[in-house]
């Protein structure tokens, strides 16, 4: 068996250190563990790397990170852009500082200049720094909201967005071409510093980033008047958000900010949560307890790399804290910002709002109201970043005003090219101050939005199937759906079927076939009657198949009932 040969090589090869060998020899009698660690190589995909920390080809370790970095270095050298340099950041996860320094030194060994942050920083600041420093690429060491045993490696290109075609394929080909870990170049930190290749950055980028966020504030006077009394509970969930969130709120005049003490400091073990994800209600337990004590107006949580934001806000009628989905919080920000831009005469005629195909249809309704072009892209914020770049390169391109995806992430302006929970915190607190001046909470305003546009409600089901057998099962599920054309899902008739991998859009009534005009991806999408929809795709970063659904109801209760029914119907169909 090939994986046993690879295991033996790692246990005996001179290129592997003693600590690695010791870890692997400790599992010599555990065949299942050896197979899981070596049955495949941790794939460098369109999102970079993500996996469990440990020794082996299917794990996150310095050898796998080094191989990915050497492949990236070879690609950069081929492009001739090595002098522009690469900026590197990392979050609070275990091994993040070590992986980030190792990454810098491998690049340095290839003659590529690096700018490494002096300590952990959030994803959005990394995206901003790539553009601000004029670098050819950026690297973020993070596994986002995954469980503590994971870490990852995300690559950004010169526009500040995560890599897309053809760059992603070019880098992946270079990584695959490395067949021996001895091909990874090495250099000492001392030598790299002497040659001017290894550079540390920090406060100066922080300051520029904060100033850019301040430019996005629309109602500074409202914040001064009402923001100082707004009670905000915030948790960084042991991640990177603390310093920048506290700083931007403090400098704008928000005086009553209560940070959850047990979750305030960075800690890659995430001791107070099983899953450091602001999408999970359990992650808010301590924050909601603190909110009740201080009678908070709004409760906020960012994930470990601070690109996602979760929110609770008080319902005036019941006094209860109500949770927002990622769609709801993003579109609340969008409605606030667009309405204020319009009121101030600052709304451009050629504006655009960008979202993903698995996000809320409410986005299209809001875009229509403000006469914006509405664009839908594939899942992944890099595709939203791509739309910004495309329009920037045109002589009279569309002006990006807002973009979001359902997975709790948005970007309020074009200073960066990835979702930004720090600016989202800032915008929500600004909006909370504005609506407080009108006698409304953020939840009250959300209900007002639903009353205006309709009660749009979305949900997701993730089915985890781990290991090689799980990967095969997910593949089979997708093929079964693809090859058996579905005309009805539960009580909903299928109006349009989209197979993005085959670039096919089929009108189920007329049988007319057209193109999806999206990058090919393993995604199946069903447009249903009554403004409902479903989507199925494998996760790009986890061993999961993801099911997305959306409905539009006449009330919150009606929408929730429709949603649960449709979720169950789709789950049964996929089995």
State the catalytic residues. 144
- Residue 418, classed as helix, strand or coil, is coil
Element (H, E) at 491: none
3-state secondary structure of 472: helix
DSSP 340: H
What one-character DSSP code corresponds to residue 48? B
What is the β-pairing status of strands 198-201 and 114-117? parallel
Nearest CA-CA partner of 453 in 343, 360, 375, 316: 360
Question: Scanning the structure block, which residue is given the tokens 């922080």?
Answer: 206
Query: Which three-class secondary structure state does DSSP give residue 379?
Result: coil
Cα–Cα distance measured from residue 79 to residue 134, given in angstroms and rounded to the nearest whole number: 15
Residue 482: count of CB within 10 angstroms of its CB: 16
> Tokens 């007319």 appear where?
512
Say if strands 256-259 and 231-235 run parallel, antiparallel, or are unpaired: parallel
Q: How far apart are CA 339 and CA 194, in angstroms?
A: 53
Nearest to 155 by CA among 304, 307, 303, 49: 49
Name the residue among 42, 44, 12, 8 with its Cα closest to residue 28: 8
d(CA 189, CA 378): 40
Q: How many Cα atoms sit within 13 Å of 496 on the Cβ side?
A: 15
Alpha-carbon distance of 226 to 459, in angstroms, equals: 34
Q: Which residue has the tokens 């909903």?
A: 492
Q: How far apart are the first and last CA of the chain?
A: 32
Distance in angstroms (rounded) separating the CA atoms of residues 286 and 326: 20
| Cα separation, 273 vs 252, whole angstroms | 30
> What interhelical angle do 421-436 and 442-453 show, nearest 10?
90
Helix 31-38 / helix 2-12 crossing angle, nearest 10 deg: 90
Cis peptide before 166 (omega within 30 of 0): yes
**Which residues are CB-contacts of 139 (< 8 A; sequence separation ≥ 6)?**
69, 72, 86, 87, 88, 89, 100, 103, 153, 154, 155, 156
């Amino acid at each position: 068996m090939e994986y046993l040969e690879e295991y033996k090589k790692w246990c005996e090869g001179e290129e592997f250190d003693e600590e690695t060998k010791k870890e692997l020899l400790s599992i010599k009698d555990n065949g299942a563990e050896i197979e899981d660690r070596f049955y495949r190589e941790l794939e460098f995909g369109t999102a970079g790397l993500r996996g469990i920390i440990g020794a082996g080809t299917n794990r996150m370790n310095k050898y796998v990170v080094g191989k990915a970095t050497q492949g990236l270095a070879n690609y950069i050298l081929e492009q001739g852009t090595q002098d522009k340099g690469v900026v590197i950041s990392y979050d609070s996860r275990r091994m993040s500082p070590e992986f980030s320094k190792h990454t810098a030194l491998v690049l340095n060994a290839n003659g590529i200049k690096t700018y490494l942050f002096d300590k952990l920083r959030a994803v959005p600041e990394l995206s901003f720094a790539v553009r601000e420093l004029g670098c050819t690429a950026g690297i973020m060491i993070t596994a986002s909201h995954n469980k503590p045993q994971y870490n990852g490696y995300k690559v950004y290109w010169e526009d500040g967005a995560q890599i897309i075609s053809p760059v992603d394929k070019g880098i992946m080909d270079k990584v695959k071409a490395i067949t021996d870990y001895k091909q990874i170049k090495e250099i000492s930190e001392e030598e790299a510093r002497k040659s001017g290749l290894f550079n540390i950055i920090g406060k100066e980028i922080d300051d520029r980033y904060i100033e850019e966020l301040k430019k996005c504030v629309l109602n500074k006077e409202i914040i001064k008047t009402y923001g100082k009394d707004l009670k905000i509970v915030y948790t960084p969930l042991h991640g990177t958000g603390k310093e920048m969130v506290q700083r931007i709120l403090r400098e704008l005049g928000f005086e009553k900010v209560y940070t959850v003490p047990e979750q305030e400091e960075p800690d890659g073990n995430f001791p107070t949560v099983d899953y450091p994800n602001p999408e999970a209600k359990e992650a808010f337990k301590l924050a909601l307890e603190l909110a009740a004590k201080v009678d908070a107006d709004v409760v906020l949580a960012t994930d470990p790399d601070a690109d996602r934001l979760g929110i609770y806000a008080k319902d005036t009628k019941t006094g209860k804290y109500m949770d927002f989905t990622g769609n709801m919080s993003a579109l609340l920000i969008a409605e606030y910002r667009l309405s204020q831009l319009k009121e101030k005469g600052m709304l451009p005629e050629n504006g655009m709002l960008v979202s993903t195909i698995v996000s809320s249809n409410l986005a299209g309704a809001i875009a229509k109201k403000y006469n914006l072009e509405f664009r839908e892209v594939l899942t992944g914020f890099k595709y939203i970043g791509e739309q910004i770049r495309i329009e920037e390169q045109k002589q009279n391109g569309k002006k990006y005003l807002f973009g979001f995806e359902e997975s709790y992430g948005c970007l309020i302006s074009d200073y960066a090219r990835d979702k930004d929970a720090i600016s989202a915190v800032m915008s929500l607190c600004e909006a909370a101050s504005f609506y407080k001046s009108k006698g409304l909470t953020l939840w009250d305003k959300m209900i007002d939005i639903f009353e205006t546009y309709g009660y749009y409600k979305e949900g997701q089901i993730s089915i985890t199937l781990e290991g090689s057998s799980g990967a095969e099962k997910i593949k089979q599920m997708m093929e079964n759906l693809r090859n058996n054309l579905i005309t009805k899902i539960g009580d909903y008739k299928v109006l349009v079927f989209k197979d993005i991998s085959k670039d096919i859009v089929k009108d189920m009534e007329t049988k007319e076939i057209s193109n999806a005009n999206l990058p090919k991806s393993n995604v199946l999408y069903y447009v249903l009657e009554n403004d409902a929809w479903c989507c199925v795709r494998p996760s790009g970063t986890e061993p999961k198949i993801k099911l997305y659904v959306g409905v539009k109801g006449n009330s919150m209760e009606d929408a929730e009932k429709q949603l649960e029914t449709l979720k169950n119907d789709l789950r049964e169909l996929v089995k």
